[in-house]
Amino acid sequence: MPPRISRSLLKPAPRASGEPVRTRKAEKPGSPPEAIDYGNLGNFIGYELRRAQMRLYDDFFRTTKGTGISPALYGALVLVECNPGVQQGHLGKALGVARSGAMTMVDRLQSLELVVRRPSPHDRRAYGLHLTAKGSRLAAELHRRIAAHDRRMGEKMTEDERRQLMLLLRRI
């Protein structure tokens, strides 16, 4: 079964201008006057999963800063790179978004000049998606940065533990 990237998990938002904003604690750095009781929240897998992903997203956005690429767009970029000529609709399905959502994503990638739509030779309704030269270059750069990012995410565990983590995550 091919893995799927979920809509809800690729969400955090790039800005219109292309520059992701992560205004963590924009309001005030000061901590809440009284410690807050989180009850049973910390015993839930879902809670630790969320916290882990929060930290990971923070690092991801620092990693891709200046590129305008969110996790969702990176996923799309990888898919176009690995499947040159893929149809927009298929991309959307693979990413778990509706066609209109795929439309928006590809529009964005096109406006960043990373991806082009070329008429499909077989189906005059469809377009094939391809990386531009600029898109290829950025993809290569992002692969490097994101591989380093992913290593950082696992730097506090051994290689065995990392494998164990991946296995356990797949069992959820």
Partner DNA sequence: TATTGTTATACTCTATAACTATA
Partner DNA sequence: TATAGTTATAGAGTATAACAATA
N-to-C CA span, the chain: 15
Q: What's the CA gap between 169 and 150, in Å, rounded?
A: 15
Which positions from 30 through 49 interact with DNA, judged by CB under 7 A?
30
Helix-helix angle 71-82:88-95, to 10 degrees: 130
Contact flag: residue 10 with DNA (CB under 7 A): yes
Least gap, CB of 168 to DNA (angstroms): 25
Decide which of its own copies, DNA, none touches 117; Cβ closer than 5 to 8 Å per partner kind.
Answer: DNA
Contact flag: residue 106 with DNA (CB under 7 A): yes
Residues that bind DNA (CB under 7 A): 7-8, 10-17, 21, 23, 26-28, 30, 70, 72, 87-90, 96-101, 103-106, 108, 117, 120, 123-127
